[in-house]
Amino acid sequence: MLFRTLAKPDFKALVERILASTEVIGPKRVGTDRHGRPIHHYLPVESFDEIDLDYETTEFSAKTYFLPYKENLCSYRFQDDDWRQEIRYRIQPRAIIGLHACDIHALIKLDKALARDFFPSPYYISRRKNTFVVGIDHDPCEGGFCRSLGTDTATHGFDLFLTDLGERYFVAIGSDRGFRALSGLPAAEITEQDTEDYLRVRKRIAAGFKTEINVQNLPNLLDIEFESPVWEKWGGKCLSCGSCAMVCPTCYCYGVSERVSMDFASGAKTKQLYSCNLIDFAVVAGGHNFRPNRQTRLKYRYYHQHRGFMEAYDEPKCVGCNRCGRTCLAGINPVEVIRDLQAEDET
Amino acid sequence: MKYLGIEPKRLRFAVFEFTGCEGCELQLANKEETLLAFLGAVDVVEFREVSSARNGAYDVALVDGAISRTDEVERLREIRARAKVLVALGSCACFGGVNRMKNACDLDQANREVYGDHPKETLPTRAIHEVVPVDLKIPGCPVSKAEVERIVQHLLFEVPYQFPVYPVCLECKQHFTVCLFDKGQLCLGPITRGGCDAPCPAGGLGCWGCRGKAADANIDEFRSIARERAHGEREIAERLGFFGGFEEHS
Ligand code: SF4
Ligand code: SF4
Ligand code: SF4
Ligand code: SF4
Ligand code: SF4
């Protein structure tokens, strides 16, 4: 990895340079919740000053810029006895400024499932490849447990990654594209002082984590606790609303539907993100529902996060951002659910 | 006008209104960009909003409004007897709708309050299916024309239409709407059937449940969530009772 330092005004200049030709997304404050805390969303910005790099977390992940909630997969038009299909991948470049480490890990996990496995998705890949990612270090967000999952620091999956050293940023360069982006800017070679400052900040951040889960042996524990009353307890509260999967940076399930125009001359296939908590998620042809009750559906959500994905890719799917926990009206959150399971295991 | 080489059926549609605001009927005449194609795909034989034609036979009867008078009961029975497919159109037809509120009052008193010294004959409000068997229910206050179009397309090709079964929250999240519970408001989104695209929360108004209950709605948990956030029993009951889609819970 190459490192540089960049004075804050020069970083602003960099973003403004990108803005001149490219859509820029950044954390923007959109309101205040009922506890008086700011709410941030990743949104397109028109100037650098709209970006609030000191944000704690966002309500929604940045997944939507890679896996939109609704996406046109193809359009088709009939003519005489023939038909034409049109497929458009999104290739317009875009930059996302200010992703936290957990969200960069989320992209790395999505890469594994959607770009590097047996069925790579050209829809995902075109967006991912054409998105310039700038990450940033930050003090732990409330309830986040990324450190337990090893997703509190990022060493790849981005173009640039910033650590705030006060007047300047410590910049990790993660790609050729990142390197080229710095050209013409007074980015300095790092000094011993820079390294020292960087490590001090990293230490402060690491010491700030208050929330932890123990993921040791979790896949086996999940198998052992398959019939646990813990699933009754938490699953019974589930509203089967899918909000958790919508805000989760790594949930990628979807359904596909066809819409035909009213004159029957054209149509479109649309993909819509879905959630395993929704009641018809496991309905198969013929109408049988493999997971008709909410308890089972909630359980399988946890199984995919911490067991199924682990089996396929040697790591859990969850990055510990706790967005699902914050958004769930019923208060269902991974930290408590997993702790309950572990307590169950000890009794 | 074939689709994938298959000729759709020609179906004759008739539209009838009962106790309601006619908003759903107006919706049928809405969405100008596809109105011609819509009217080209179906034969409308009776529909006050777009034509004055009256012509005896029809296959599909779209019925909007609730039933609240004896003469309406008679008229509905007649329509049922003549229609091959009877469709309840909108929340009034599906659940009784806002009109159902009067059932909680003393009918005579309600009558006097509205009509003064000239009371009208009136019955407790009922949904269409409480009077005659219904083949298809399209909820919504008003119904969405886009959804009606899709359902009509399914009818023309005789394939069953699958309504979304998930609650409003899913589409609400997909629009990045800040949750109204987070702003201290009550919202029936978690227990109401989705498919409307969650316009009310997006506009800053909690869902009032016009599409009725979502499949396997977790009403108990919803109540405790609302109570925990300091919404009173009365407010919750009023909300659940508003469109009549949660009749057994309000
Ligand atoms: S866990 Fe919470 S957010 Fe997820 S589906 Fe259940 S109620 Fe909704
Ligand atoms: S499961 Fe929850 S905590 Fe884990 S990545 Fe998804 S939203 Fe974040
Ligand atoms: S199965 Fe559930 S947990 Fe897994 S990606 Fe799909 S929605 Fe997310
Ligand atoms: S505003 Fe209503 S519909 Fe939207 S997420 Fe919140 S509860 Fe669900
Ligand atoms: S959000 Fe609720 S009240 Fe509004 S249209 Fe949808 S179901 Fe009806």
Distance, in Å, from the CA atom of A26 to the CA atom of A51, rounded to the nearest integer, reads 5
Cα three-residue angle B172-B217-B220, rounded to 5 degrees: 110
Residues A153 and A87 in one domain: yes
Task: From B189, B181, B176, select the one nearest A35 (Cα to Cα).
Answer: B181
Last residue in a domain, options A207, A235, A265: A207
Using the predicted structure, report yes or no on whether residue A75 has a pLDDT greater than 60.
yes
Show which residues on chain A lie within 8 Å of chain B, measured between beta carbons.
30-31, 33-34, 39, 41, 59-60, 64, 69-70, 78, 236-243, 246-247, 259-264, 272-273, 275, 278-280, 294, 327, 329-330
Residues A194 and A46 in one domain: yes
Distance, in Å, from the CA atom of A303 to the CA atom of A138, rounded to the nearest integer, reads 29
Show which of residues 8-67 on chain B sit within 8 Å of chain A, judged by CB atoms.
8, 34, 37-38, 40-41
Q: Domain limits at A264?
A: 218-346
Residues A59 and A181 in one domain: yes
Residues A140 and A227 in one domain: no
Q: Domain B12-157 belongs to what topology? A: Rossmann fold (3.40.50)
**pLDDT (mean) for A67-89:** 94
- Given ligand 3 and candidates A251, A294, A305, which is best to mutate, with the most ligand atoms within 8 Å of its CB? A251
**pLDDT (mean) for A300-328:** 97
Task: From A164, A312, A143, A324, select the one nearest A242 (Cα to Cα).
Answer: A324
Asked whether B152 and B144 are in contact (CB, 8 A), the reply is no
Domain ranges of chain B: 12-157, 168-245
CB pairs under 8 A between A and B: 104
Query: Residue holding tokens 């519970």?
Result: B181
Q: Kindly determine whether residue B165 and residue A279, on different chains, have CB atoms separated by under 8 Å.
A: yes
Residues A190 and A130 in one domain: yes
- Indicate if the alpha-carbon torsion angle A8, A14, A15, A20 is positive or negative: positive
Q: Kindly determine whether residue A242 and residue B150, on different chains, have CB atoms separated by under 8 Å.
A: no
Q: Which residue of A has its CA nearest to B162?
A: A257
**pLDDT (mean) for B81-101:** 94
Q: What is the pLDDT of residue B191?
A: 98
Q: What is the pLDDT of residue B115?
A: 86
Asked whether A299 and A86 are in contact (CB, 8 A), the reply is no
Nearest to B190 among A239, A261, A263 (CB): A239
pTM, two decimals, is: 0.95
Distance, in Å, from the CA atom of A238 to the CA atom of A274, rounded to the nearest integer, reads 16
Residues A318 and A234 in one domain: yes
Residues A196 and A53 in one domain: yes
Distance, in Å, from the CA atom of A257 to the CA atom of A24, rounded to the nearest integer, reads 31
Pairing of strands A94-99, A23-32: parallel
Q: Which residues contact A31 (CB under 8 A, 6 or more apart)?
A: A38, A39, B178, B183
Q: What is the pLDDT of residue A236?
A: 97
Q: Is the CB of A326 under 6 A from ligand 2?
A: no
Using the predicted structure, report yes or no on whether residue B51 has a pLDDT greater than 70.
no
Residue B169's alpha-carbon distances to A327, B19, B66, in angstroms, are 11, 30, 28
Residues A67 and A159 in one domain: yes
SS3 (DSSP) at A274:
coil
Residue A305's alpha-carbon distances to A314, A331, B24, B170, in angstroms, are 12, 18, 44, 20
Last residue in a domain, options A207, A228, A257: A207
Last residue in a domain, options A169, A186, A207: A207
SS3 (DSSP) at A138:
coil
Distance from CA of B132 to the nearest CA of A (A): 28
Distance in Å, CA A294 to ligand 3 centroid: 14
Q: Kindly determine whether residue B167 and residue A241, on different chains, have CB atoms separated by under 8 Å.
A: yes
Residue A182 lies in a domain: yes
Q: Is the CB of A319 under 6 A from ligand 2?
A: yes
Say whether the peptide bond before residue B142 is cis (omega within 30 degrees of 0). Answer: yes
Using the predicted structure, report yes or no on whether residue B55 has a pLDDT greater than 80.
no
Asked whether B211 and B196 are in contact (CB, 8 A), the reply is yes
Residue A24 lies in a domain: yes
Residue A213 lies in a domain: no
Helical residues (DSSP H) of B50-115, grouped into ranges: 70-82, 91-95, 107-115
> Total structural domains in chain A?
2
Exposure of A215 in the CB half-sphere (CA atoms within 13 A): 24
As a whole-number percent, the residues of chain A with pLDDT over 90 amount to: 95
**pLDDT (mean) for B100-125:** 85
Asked whether A204 and A137 are in contact (CB, 8 A), the reply is no
Q: What is the pLDDT of residue B50?
A: 59
- Each residue of B176-213: pLDDT tens digit? 999 999 989 999 999 999 999 999 999 999 999 999 99
